[in-house]
Amino acid sequence: MTEPGGALRVGLIQTRTPATHEAALAHVAPLVREAIARGARFVLTPECTNVLQKDRAKLLPTLTALEDDPVVIGLRAIAAETGTWIDVGSALVLREDGPNGEKKAANRQAVIDPTGAIVATYDKLHMFDVQLPSGETARESATYTPGERAVVVDTPLAAFGLTICYDMRFPALHRALALAGAKVITAPAAFTRPTGEAHWEVLLRARAIETGSFVIAAAQGGFHEDGRGTWGRSIAIGPWGEVLGKLDHDEPGVLIADLDLSAADKARAAIPVLANAREFTGP
| Angle CA 11–184–165, to nearest 5 | 75
How many whole angstroms separate alpha carbon 267 and alpha carbon 213?
Answer: 8
| Angle CA 165–135–223, to nearest 5 | 55
| Length of the chain as a residue count | 283
Task: Please tell me which residue in 47, 48, 140, 183 is annotated as part of the active site.
Answer: 47
Distances (CA, A) of 70 to 25, 29, 157, 177, 283: 7, 12, 27, 30, 50
End-to-end CA distance of the chain: 47
What integer pLDDT is reported at residue 63 of this predicted model? 97
Q: What percent of the chain has pLDDT over 70?
A: 96
Q: Which domains are seen in the chain, by residue range?
A: 8-269 (3.60.110.10)
Task: Please tell me which residue in 48, 104, 140, 165 is annotated as part of the active site.
Answer: 165
What integer pLDDT is reported at residue 115 of this predicted model? 98
Task: State the sign of the Cα–Cα–Cα–Cα dihedral 52, 42, 184, 150.
Answer: positive
What integer pLDDT is reported at residue 100 of this predicted model? 63
Q: Do 254 and 35 meet the contact criterion of CB atoms below 8 Å apart?
A: yes
Catalytic, 47? Answer: yes
Task: Please tell me which residue in 104, 124, 183, 246 is annotated as part of the active site.
Answer: 124
**pLDDT bucket at 61, cuts 50 / 70 / 90:** very high
Distances (CA, A) of 91 to 52, 107, 115, 214, 267: 10, 6, 20, 23, 33
Q: Do 53 and 226 meet the contact criterion of CB atoms below 8 Å apart?
A: yes
Q: What is the mean pLDDT of the chain?
A: 95
For 223: left if phi > 0, alpha if psi spans -120 to 50, otherwise beta; the answer is: beta
Report the pLDDT averaged over residues 81-85: 98
Catalytic, 48? Answer: no
**pLDDT bucket at 6, cuts 50 / 70 / 90:** low
How many whole angstroms separate alpha carbon 28 and alpha carbon 77?
Answer: 13
Report the pLDDT averaged over residues 95-104: 70
Between 114 and 95, whose confidence is greater?
Answer: 114
How many whole angstroms separate alpha carbon 111 and alpha carbon 157?
Answer: 13
Q: At what angle do helices 21-37 and 70-82 cross, to 10 degrees?
A: 20
Catalytic, 165? Answer: yes
Tell me the per-residue pLDDT of 190-231, one tens digit each, with 9 for 90 and over: 999 999 999 999 999 999 999 999 999 999 999 999 999 999
What integer pLDDT is reported at residue 98 of this predicted model? 60
